[in-house]
Amino acid sequence: MFNIAAYLKKFENLGLGERLLKEAIRSSVKEVLNFDLETKDIVVKNGEVIFKVSPAIKNAIFIKKVSILQRMAENGVENVSEIR
């Protein structure tokens, strides 16, 4: 007999890595700038982080870019090298 619970168990952690990565990026930005971003506003693609926020917040992020990247490295975000 086919057990549907055992089959669905392997899909339980699908997407968990991306969610944890976005939470680490979000917490790094919050520690440096005290801006509380939504995880839906963060896109990680090809080692770059793209923020979909207002221009004023983007300017503040770019001003503190080096500090945010250092904080991300301290928080365990390894594969991100650029912020856009």
Q: What pLDDT is stored for residue 40 in this prediction?
A: 92
Domain membership flag for residue 38 = yes
Domain membership flag for residue 28 = yes
CA distance 68 to 17: 20
Domain membership flag for residue 71 = yes
Q: What pLDDT is stored for residue 26 in this prediction?
A: 94
Of residues 38 and 7, which shows the higher confidence score? 38
Domain membership flag for residue 4 = no
Q: What pLDDT is stored for residue 17 in this prediction?
A: 82
Enclosing domain of residue 38: 15-83
Domain membership flag for residue 7 = no
Domain membership flag for residue 25 = yes
Domain membership flag for residue 8 = no
Burial 10-24 (b: 16+ CB within 10 A, else e): eeeeeeeeeeebbeb
- DSSP 8-state class, residue 79: S
Q: What pLDDT is stored for residue 14 in this prediction?
A: 74
pTM of the predicted model as reported, rounded to 2 decimal places: 0.80
Tell me how many domains the chain contains: 1
CB atoms within 10 A of CB 50: 15
- pLDDT digit string, tens, across residues 16-67: 788 889 999 999 999 999 989 999 999 999 889 999 999 999 999 999 999 9
Confidence class of residue 1 from pLDDT cuts 50, 70 and 90? low
Domain membership flag for residue 9 = no
CB atoms within 10 A of CB 58: 15
